[in-house]
A and B are shown apart, each in its own frame.
Chain A
């Protein structure tokens, strides 16, 4: 008799667990429940945000394998008044796996404001590019909010074996070109143009293109797990790098009357 009850229990456990736990492969590009087009949906949400005279947003990155600290980050940001949106600047995942991006999105979905995902080098590992494209969207994309154009793009040159096409400078040049309704430009990418993981052959041209818009306010990065700022070509345009989520520090950026200020916030 007890074995029949045992059987029944096992079958019940199967049914309870089955919906969430079915996996075809850790590398599958999506499953029945994976979110789709997060950036597109959140940009629609952002466009509906009324906003005020202060454009305020958070730059963070490298949520890779840091779920506890990601939750703390979300709690912290939700307590800051007037944050319009959050940029999660790459290395959303550590291993380029669907499950990781789903876990991170589940946490970032608790933000009271929209967040936008940018591609990082770890997100391109294994099948990660397909996972990111379906879940977040294009690797290169831009949006305009309150007259500021944010140009988000892929600078993970090493993952393209330094083939000369990452970052895509032609695309970037078009996006940074003068445009009606745009007063200022901000470039956003994961790998900063330092020696190492950024294509050394493209560094100089990249800085020319980023600084070459009619009014570049800043360029924003993550990847190094150290907060920092650099200036290139004797121009007063800050290249701001956010600390990683593992080090519990992000950058809070404000633009008031066309002037950009920022501070590092620990949590």
Chain B
């Protein structure tokens, strides 16, 4: 994508390609991608229903780190409920994201000298997740025009990953579905 965008950038006479400019900035607490994470958000379908975020997350030592995490997050908002003139609720937003942990203890592939193929079958650095979120969108132009932004959104998001899912499916009865879904909260500002 970077290469493609560079090519485009050169073609459009050094003008920064418009689609690369994020539509929003987002900040999230928890949700398996950091104690706090910050990121840039892109709109996918021009109808306010699909979003793609790129987040960087950090966990300090006193919160169980130090860990540095990157995440690419997709979410879709199929249901829109108008609460009033300035608020919309997106109650059930399925999504998926991939997280990447930095550090020598995390690998995308296992050391070939030490491990035979398939000795461990998963990646410790790359974690696929599925998620389900709830979002409230506030029209900032109507309620806080002085901010000069389009919208403010607050959301919560439950997620699980493939390792929790496989643990759950193998132990239904001992583990419950609420054991494997993990929570995060976020705010988003649309420009």
Give the interface of A toward B (CB within 8 A): 3-4, 6-7, 10, 14, 17-18, 20-31, 65-68, 70-71, 94-100, 103, 107, 125-127, 129, 158, 161-162
Contact = CB atoms under 8 A, between A and B. Distances in A.
A65 B32 CA distance: 20
Interface of B: 30-35, 57, 59, 63-65, 67, 69, 81, 83, 89, 91, 99, 101, 105-106, 111, 113-115, 120, 122, 124, 127, 134, 136, 156, 158, 161, 163-164, 166-167, 170-171, 173-175, 178-179, 181-185
Nearest to A197: B119
8 contacts: A22-B183, A24-B57, A28-B67, A65-B166, A65-B167, A68-B174, A107-B174, A161-B113
B31 A23 contact: yes
A224 B136 CA distance: 52
A168 B163 CA distance: 32
Contact of B175 (A21, A29, A103): A103
A17 B182 CA distance: 9
A120 to B, nearest CB: 13
Contact of A21 (B99, B111, B182): B182
Contacts of A22: 30, 182-184
Contacts of A30: 64
A162 B101 CA distance: 25
A7 to B, nearest CB: 7
Given A6-B91, A126-B105, A21 B183 contact: yes
Contact of B122 (A28, A67, A95, A107): A95
A25 B101 contact: yes
A100 B164 CA distance: 9
A126 B89 contact: no
A102 B138 CA distance: 39
B163 A25 contact: no
B163 A28 contact: no
A68 B174 CA distance: 5
Contacts of A14: 156, 183, 185
A71 to B, nearest CB: 6
Given A21-B182, A95-B163, A125-B120, A27 B101 contact: yes
Nearest to A95: B163
Nearest to B111: A161
Nearest to A161: B114
A15 to B, nearest CB: 11
A26 B164 contact: yes
B107 to A, nearest CB: 9
A8 B191 CA distance: 28
Contacts of A27: 67, 101, 106, 124
Nearest to A31: B64
B35 A24 contact: yes
A28 B63 contact: yes
Contact of A28 (B59, B91, B134): B59
Given A17-B183, A18-B183, A25-B34, A71 B174 contact: yes
Nearest to A122: B120
Contacts of A161: 111, 113-114
A193 to B, nearest CB: 18
B124 A96 contact: yes
Contacts of A18: 183
Contacts of B158: 17, 21
A25 B129 CA distance: 11
Nearest to B65: A28
B105 A65 contact: no
Given A6-B89, A23-B182, A25-B69, A99 B174 contact: no
Contacts of A100: 167
Nearest to B181: A21
Contacts of A4: 83
Contacts of A129: 105
